[in-house]
Amino acid sequence: MATDPEADLTAWVEEAGHLLATDPTSAEGLARKVLQRSPRDPRAALILASARRRLGDPSGALAILKPLSRAYPNAVNTLYELGLALDAQGEAAAGIAALRRAVALNPDHADAWGAIGDA
């Protein structure tokens, strides 16, 4: 019985998403695996960017997040990650602007509100 490659990618993305908080290195590895098979997968790109930020590489995260946020300007979680990465890079005003855009699109995004307060 043949396996469904798209189902494999979705499973890898889901697993990577679950790993972000506890093991960003493994999340990064899975996201890269997805991107090897599907280079334009925005889910994997976002996870990769978040992993890079969590691993102390905000400039690496921004290299992914800036084009991703242009391609998906209303993607709340992309804006959230963009805001965190910008703030971590020392661009607080731009980071807050991205976070404010995220909460304007989703007023219930508690993490974005918290990040605004922290910034």
Rounded to two decimals, the pTM is: 0.91
pLDDT over 80 at 1, yes or no: no
What is the DSSP code string of 46-97? HHHHHHHHHTT-HHHHHHHHHHHHHHSTT-HHHHHHHHHHHHHTT-HHHHHH
Query: DSSP secondary structure string, 37-48?
Result: H-TT-HHHHHHH
pLDDT of 8 reads 84
Give 66-101 pLDDT, tens digit per residue.
Answer: 999 999 999 999 999 999 999 999 999 999 999 999
Q: Tens of pLDDT along 10-60?
A: 999 999 999 999 999 999 999 999 999 999 999 999 999 999 999 999 999
Return the H-helix or E-strand segment holding 105: helix 92-105
Q: How far apart are CA 117 and CA 91, in angstroms?
A: 15
User: What is the distance between the alpha carbons of residues 110 and 41, in angstroms, rounded to a whole number?
Assistant: 26
Q: How far apart are CA 118 and CA 45, in angstroms?
A: 25
